[in-house]
């Protein structure tokens, strides 16, 4: 049993003073008391204590190309031209490189305020599409990266069988992603073993409506009943909406809700291009929408109608997706800024009786992020995993700021360097901005990048 004493901690009803948090040997919070004096043996926390943010959407390998595709060569540059560059990288990656990139990335995530990650994992096979001797080779590399970094992992092995709506064949450059239903279910057996080894969880995942047919999705869901999360990319691009309408006479989100029972297991990634009816449908279902504002901005996807969605009682979390940013605060900041830019007004995303925008952003993304992986995370409360971020209590920008203003100060006026310590499952993984594995991770990442750049 470990007990923390924090002068300030973010509980369900906002900042509270003198909070004692009891953590059991398994890394779960056993009890939380407020207004409590520190007791002998308590570990004293020096700064504001927050629940760590769940990152609900990651493609780890894409970190290798972040910032390297920012060159204006094509007046029609878009997601689709970026995807060609991404496929060039995909064609070369080895399992060792994927592990090195993911380990380095996950340490960056911890320092950026994320304490768990949902890895939307679709790079399964060798170049050309031949499976590795172990079908779950790449999944095991992701699990090894999570283990080395200490971040909480939900592995989402991705079903990817087609290159367009209506079961079109894959292009050659997509063959590393391909599984039919039978092989996907075999892959899941390997993923299950890899996750059990490191005490991680897994969920189901369909790359998109372009990549899976209705019959395949229904076969996978029938073979894997239960409460596991189900993630899918949807309506990220206008072209995707247009292609879906040409194929089915429906918009993607409309089609999905028509064909499937969309309950609390579902996480709809992006859902950028949605009609008012679709906003209403999503808001009144139990599904979570996974927003990735820095990637959506980087790719020129468009702006999700977050203000309308929040008004419709919708649940959302955030993800770093392509990892042009690996910062929880930056995702939340740009989520709000996108709304300000499109509505030409300030302070758009606030809900309930909390006028502080940062409070709504942070608490909604904690709640949605936890739901997206169906885990007991995302709050400082009994029964939740002890995943925490400690801000630098000595930072001059935080000194003399009223507690009600602390989160706004950080999200809109601060940066990741204000994150001082990070705990996952009751274990400190970052202390005083240092991670014990960072030197080794740095060397392995540099070696991977050197080989990739030379190729
Ligand atoms: Zn994605």
Within a 10 A sphere around the Cβ of 312, how many other Cβ atoms? 15
Domain 52-373 is in which class?
alpha beta
Domain ranges for the chain:
2-50+380-438, 52-373
Ligand 1 midpoint to CA 39 (Å): 46
Q: Is 109 exposed, middle or buried (0-12, 13-18, 19+ CB in 10 A)?
A: buried
Domain 2-50+380-438 shares a fold with domain 52-373: no
* The token pair that represents 291 in the structure block: 């927003």
DSSP 133: S
Helix axes 137-149, 95-111, angle to 10 degrees: 30
Q: Superfamily assignment of 2-50+380-438 in CATH? A: Urease, subunit C, domain 1 (2.30.40.10)
Place of tokens 């950026």: 112
* The token pair that represents 347 in the structure block: 């302070």
Ligand 1 midpoint to CA 294 (Å): 12
Place of tokens 């990656």: 93
Ligand 1 midpoint to CA 220 (Å): 20
Distance CA 105, CA 364 (A): 24
Query: What Cα–Cα distance (Å) separates residue 76 from each residue in 71, 72, 139, 182, 300?
Result: 12, 9, 35, 39, 11
Catalytic residues: 270, 321
Ligand 1 midpoint to CA 1 (Å): 38
Q: Quick one: which of 244, 338, 257, 253 has its CA closest to 291?
A: 338
Q: From the centroid of its chain, how far is CA 250? A: 28
Distance CA 46, CA 8 (A): 9
Distance CA 425, CA 377 (A): 9
Ligand 1 midpoint to CA 291 (Å): 10
Instruction: Tell me how far apart the terminal alpha carbons of the chain are, to the nearest angstrom.
Output: 50
Distance CA 318, CA 293 (A): 8
Provide the residue-wise pLDDT of the chain in tens; the chain has 455 residues.
899 999 999 999 999 999 999 999 999 999 999 999 999 999 999 999 999 999 999 999 999 999 988 888 788 888 888 888 888 888 899 999 999 999 999 999 999 999 999 999 999 999 999 999 999 999 999 999 999 999 999 999 999 999 999 999 999 999 999 999 999 999 999 999 999 999 999 999 999 999 999 999 999 999 999 999 999 999 999 999 999 999 999 999 999 999 999 999 999 999 999 999 999 999 999 999 999 999 999 999 999 999 999 999 999 999 999 999 999 999 999 999 999 999 999 999 998 777 999 999 999 999 999 999 999 999 999 999 999 999 999 999 998 899 999 999 999 999 999 999 999 999 999 999 999 999 999 999 999 999 988 87
The per-type count for the chain, helices as H runs and strands as E runs, is 14, 17
Ligand 1 midpoint to CA 107 (Å): 20
Ligand 1 midpoint to CA 295 (Å): 9
């Amino acid at each position: 049993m470990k007990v923390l004493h924090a002068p300030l901690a973010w509980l369900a009803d906002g900042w509270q003073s003198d909070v004692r948090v009891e953590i059991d040997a398994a890394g779960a919070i056993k009890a939380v008391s407020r207004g409590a004096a520190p007791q002998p043996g308590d570990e004293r926390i020096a700064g504001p204590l927050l629940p760590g943010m769940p990152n609900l959407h990651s493609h780890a390998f894409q970190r290798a190309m972040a910032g390297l595709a920012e060159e204006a060569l094509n007046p029609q540059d878009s997601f689709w031209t970026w995807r060609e560059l991404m496929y060039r990288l995909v064609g070369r990656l080895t399992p060792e490189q994927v592990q090195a990139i993911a380990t380095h990335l996950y340490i960056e995530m911890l320092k950026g305020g994320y304490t768990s990650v949902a890895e939307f994992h679709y790079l399964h096979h060798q170049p050309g599409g031949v499976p590795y001797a172990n079908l779950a080779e790449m999944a095991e590399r992701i699990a090894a990266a999570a283990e080395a970094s200490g971040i909480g992992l939900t592995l989402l092995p991705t079903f990817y069988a087609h290159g367009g709506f209506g079961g079109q064949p894959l292009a050659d450059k997509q063959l590393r992603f391909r599984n039919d239903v039978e092989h996907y279910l075999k892959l899941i057996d390997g993923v299950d073993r890899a996750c059990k080894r490191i005490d991680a969880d897994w969920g189901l995942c369909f790359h998109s409506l372009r990549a899976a047919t209705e019959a395949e999705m229904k076969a996978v869901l029938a073979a894997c009943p239960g409460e596991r999360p189900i993630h899918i990319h949807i309506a990220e691009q206008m072209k995707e909406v247009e292609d879906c309408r040409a194929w089915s006479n429906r918009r993607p989100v409309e089609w999905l809700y028509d064909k499937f029972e969309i309950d609390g297991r579902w996480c709809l990634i992006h859902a950028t291009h949605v009609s008012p009816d679709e906003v209403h449908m999503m808001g009144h279902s139990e599904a979570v929408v996974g927003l990735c504002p820095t990637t959506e901005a980087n790719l020129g996807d468009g702006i999700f109608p977050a203000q309308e969605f929040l008004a419709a009682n919708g649940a959302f979390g955030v993800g770093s997706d392509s990892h042009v940013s690996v910062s929880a605060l930056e995702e939340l900041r740009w989520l709000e800024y996108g709304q300000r830019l499109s509505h030409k007004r300030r302070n758009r995303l606030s809900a309930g009786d909390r006028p502080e925008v940062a409070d709504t952003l942070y608490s909604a993304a904690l709640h949605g992020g936890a739901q997206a992986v169906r885990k007991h995370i995302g709050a400082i409360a009994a029964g939740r995993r002890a995943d925490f971020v400690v801000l630098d209590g000595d930072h001059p920008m935080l000194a003399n700021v009223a507690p009600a203003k602390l989160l706004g100060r950080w999200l809109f006026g601060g940066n990741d360097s204000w994150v001082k310590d990070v705990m996952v499952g009751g274990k400190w993984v970052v202390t005083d901005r240092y991670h014990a594995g960072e030197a080794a991770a740095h060397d392995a990442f540099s070696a991977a990048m050197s080989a990739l750049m030379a190729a």
